[in-house]
Structure 1
């Protein structure tokens, strides 16, 4: 965490102090720069054409193919973050994956951002908002350009608009063609216990992560713009994203959907909204957990109770009395299809949990489930096994009790009957 914080701080300082960077001469995070100041003037005069001409003149050299963009190999793109993270050149080859990029990789800001990102970093005051809108108007393909540094890799203007909690700019970006499936997988947005496990692969644009995690960290937001909106409780943005094709069942590198992310951040309001817009309750993540079992795994009691109520099937209600059935597939420790122990079931997770918070999930439903299992199966099995053991013990006791002692055998010439005759011994048994 210390190294990560140092990298973030260094990047922010460079954004503020690197006046020599060509991008920051046009506009910087403080709202200054040639184009930023011109945008202020245009707000007063209304001469947008003047700003458009300057944008075309100043920005075009930063773009591939004069703003038409081009397809680049994934190796070329991720080599930037790989060298930043490891200090070594990226040498792996063999992937045929390509990705569309408009803003030149060698003309980025201090942390791999474009001029459009700088506008959002400034907080979008009136002049920077105008500049962002005119940038997209003149060069529409820059809208999906993303950060290329290791800390913020994949973050687009759409992610930033959601983080700024600005539905108006989010609506503008979506209407202008912003991609709703772009994933933000930078180290800054990775779970704390997975940050050091990030490894680049030529078969994937995004870093590979260690499978086992507790999803710790306040900035693990699920990569997709839709998940960002869910974490930040941006209901309007969430609906707009779904209307433009975002799927609440998309899974991030950990296999988590919007429902998993809402569970991690204990946001029941967005959980319900996602359900109403088509999210599925029983999607498994990489660790084989559904939102319900994830709530049990993280000992999120309130979310667990909410999800259990959502999964139940109510047959009838009369006043305060209710008849409801709870599906046992992810609750009980017995796998319904195979009869084997399901270690990822809610009951198993709670019983074998390593914190006292897990025990708080036992009262009510799970406690009743354990009681029903005991009265229906456990008690019968226990008494059956106990009865068999008692019978076995009595028989063995009788056998040993009536068995002649060595002195009796020697005095009376008694030989014990043996079913297995040892090799090399020729002895005829005598029967009494």
Structure 2
């Protein structure tokens, strides 16, 4: 029976037994006949459907919510009856917008339920009758990180978008009664675009769905609000992130790629972040908008990706255009030169450090300065200490910006830790030196060794060396570390067994050759005393020699239980020398094969670290100059406050041959320089007449000489 059947049809009999349970049972079954006489009953008792008599006191669920939760084939005939009753009892708006009071589902209204049930019919009916399109369902079930639940952004529009209902989204944004505002934010400051980024999971199907919904909302909002200065994509959430930056921070690589290369061909072209300049066969030249991407803006996409230690797919994200070309451009324009200067400076520092350690004086420190050589040595020591202070400050700054974690050691944390340890050892060495302790020498040589190992940081300046260094780090922090953990247990265990088994005869001393009586050694101390095999450290060193094939059996002559000793020795050699070493070699070979391709992307990330670190160290005026020369700045026509910056990228796709793009900015690929996949900045024709219809050039050519 139709849901809009007049109530008079059911009011022939006036009932007096309407209770909450009876009404709830009727609407859950969709039985309109059981509601006959309800209107007269409410009028006689002066009650409303939204009153507590017809509401679940535990959850706040009303009869309308109960009816919408029990749709059959998308319909429940009692919904129309309930709305008509509420309208005649002047309770319509209250009933429609009544929400759950239960902490789990708090704020959920009938409109939310109708959207979740994918019923466009009832959504239209509810909106027409006065449903609040900005009602927020903010119960724990709808909060992010609440465990079992669904975070959709609290608002009806975001719920429709997250459940992939494009017609529902269009209706909510365009209906003449009450339009949903996509600029509205939930309790976490997220708009519907932020929510779409959150639900993306990088699968092909999900990415396509989210990208289509994202573009639909963006375009519809633009068409409905062309005169508005509020840009939907520029709204930030409580963390200060726009949807683009949120996609970068969450590592949503599929959606991020779509957002960065978004290109519209219709009247919404102003929303594009990519403009096709020309196409020739499989090659095309494109202009990419680098607003919010480059480091001229605080908390840019580049900085989020490079310094975001929580994202495991950062190396892959940097391969997306225009990020890859932008980093390559920075490296070619200035970073490679600065990197070379830093490398030469560090080499000079190492030479000074090595000379100071090699030509140090013997005796009790600190040493007096009496001659020119002493002055020269003092200057060298001062340079070394100042360098250590600089490394310490830089390392602490890096740790504050991105705290060291296990997963970051594979990217850039390894070098940071080496520089930090080197600086700490040097400063401790300086303190011991000034305190007159000769033990400073031990810390000095350890710091020197770390300083030379830290030189591997500069291997990232050369691709092959950088990839080799990445593989070495992965094997040290992976296979070798696991090997050492197990090997240390075996070494210590067998060493304790050998020490317990071998006891040096009392009254004897071990020399270079053999055991001699202690009295003979005192009378003729020409021999060199050696530690006995009851010494744990000596025994562990001897067993370690067996592991690397350098051990000998000269100490077995003094074993009382040789058979037991041989059993221990054979088991130790089989487990370590034969089994574990060969397993380590096999694992390392497998690691090299497995991460050969991944190592290149990690090297790209490490080089990106270096580029941004060097860029941050530059003066502001110089950074501004480099930014302006690395791209083109244009100003939107009739908008003096909005500027856009573009970088030109050459793309080649041998599976895509479309050349009939009607919105190309240029007919011929003239005056264009292609270099290693990066399009150089060209002359005054960068912004063609077609693009100038919507963009007005504000600067002349900024190409570098």
TM-score bin, normalised by smaller chain: 0.5 to 0.7
Structure 1 residue 62: Cα displacement: 4.6
Match of 1:61 among 44, 47, 53: 47
Match of 1:300 among 224, 244, 252: 252
Work out whether residues 343 and 349 of structure 1, in 8 Å CA contact, stay in contact via their aligned partners in 2. Answer: no
Structure 2 unaligned regions, length at least 5: 1-16, 201-209, 223-231, 263-271, 359-366, 379-705
Distance of 1:58 and 1:297 partners within structure 2? 60
Q: TM-score, normalised by structure 1?
A: 0.63
Distance of 1:103 and 1:58 partners within structure 2? 15
Distance of 2:212 and 2:45 partners within structure 1? 42
Give the root-mean-square deviation of aligned CA atoms: 4.1
Distance of 1:407 and 1:157 partners within structure 2? 87
For residue 318 of structure 2, what is the aligned residue in structure 1? 362
Work out whether residues 221 and 261 of structure 1, in 8 Å CA contact, stay in contact via their aligned partners in 2. Answer: yes
Q: Does 1:223 align with 2:154?
A: yes
For residue 190 of structure 1, what is the aligned residue in structure 2? 143
Work out whether residues 54 and 63 of structure 2, in 8 Å CA contact, stay in contact via their aligned partners in 1. Answer: no
Distance of 1:158 and 1:227 partners within structure 2? 12
In structure 2, the CA distance between the partners of 1:160 and 1:380, relative to structure 1 (3 Å rule), is same
Please list the CA deviations of residues 150-192 of structure 1 after superposition, one character each: whole Å capped at 9, or x if unmatched.
Answer: 1111111111111110111111111111111111101111112
Structure 1 unaligned regions, length at least 5: 1-19, 43-49, 64-101, 196-215, 337-341, 419-432
Distance of 1:283 and 1:301 partners within structure 2? 21
Report the 3-state secondary structure (helix = DSSP H, G, I; strand = E; otherwise coil) of the residue aligned with 1:28.
helix
Distance of 2:152 and 2:99 partners within structure 1? 17
Distance of 2:306 and 2:350 partners within structure 1? 37
**Higher mean C-alpha deviation, range 283-292 or range 249-258:** 283-292
For residue 329 of structure 2, what is the aligned residue in structure 1? 372
Q: Which has the larger radius of gyration?
A: 2
Q: Does 1:26 align with 2:23?
A: yes
Match of 2:84 among 131, 134, 148: 134
Structure 1 residue 378: Cα displacement: 1.2
Structure 1 residue 108: Cα displacement: 3.2
Work out whether residues 180 and 226 of structure 1, in 8 Å CA contact, stay in contact via their aligned partners in 2. Answer: yes
Report the 3-state secondary structure (helix = DSSP H, G, I; strand = E; otherwise coil) of the residue aligned with 2:134.
coil
For residue 122 of structure 1, what is the aligned residue in structure 2? 70
Work out whether residues 153 and 159 of structure 2, in 8 Å CA contact, stay in contact via their aligned partners in 1. Answer: yes
User: Across the two proteins, how many residue pairs are aligned to each other?
Assistant: 321
Distance of 2:60 and 2:113 partners within structure 1? 14
Please list the CA deviations of residues 350-403 of structure 1 after superposition, one character each: whole Å capped at 9, or x if unmatched.
Answer: 5533343333322242333322222222112122334556678889999999xx
In structure 2, the CA distance between the partners of 1:352 and 1:105, relative to structure 1 (3 Å rule), is farther
Report the 3-state secondary structure (helix = DSSP H, G, I; strand = E; otherwise coil) of the residue aligned with 1:61.
coil
Q: Does 1:167 align with 2:153?
A: no
In structure 2, the CA distance between the partners of 1:217 and 1:360, relative to structure 1 (3 Å rule), is farther
Q: TM-score, normalised by structure 2?
A: 0.40
Work out whether residues 109 and 135 of structure 2, in 8 Å CA contact, stay in contact via their aligned partners in 1. Answer: yes
Q: Does 1:251 align with 2:185?
A: yes
Which one has more relative contact order, counting CA pairs under 8 Å at least 6 apart?
2
Distance of 1:327 and 1:387 partners within structure 2? 36
For residue 289 of structure 2, what is the aligned residue in structure 1? 327
Report the 3-state secondary structure (helix = DSSP H, G, I; strand = E; otherwise coil) of the residue aligned with 2:331.
helix
Q: Does 1:287 align with 2:248?
A: no
For residue 426 of structure 2, what is the aligned residue in structure 1? none
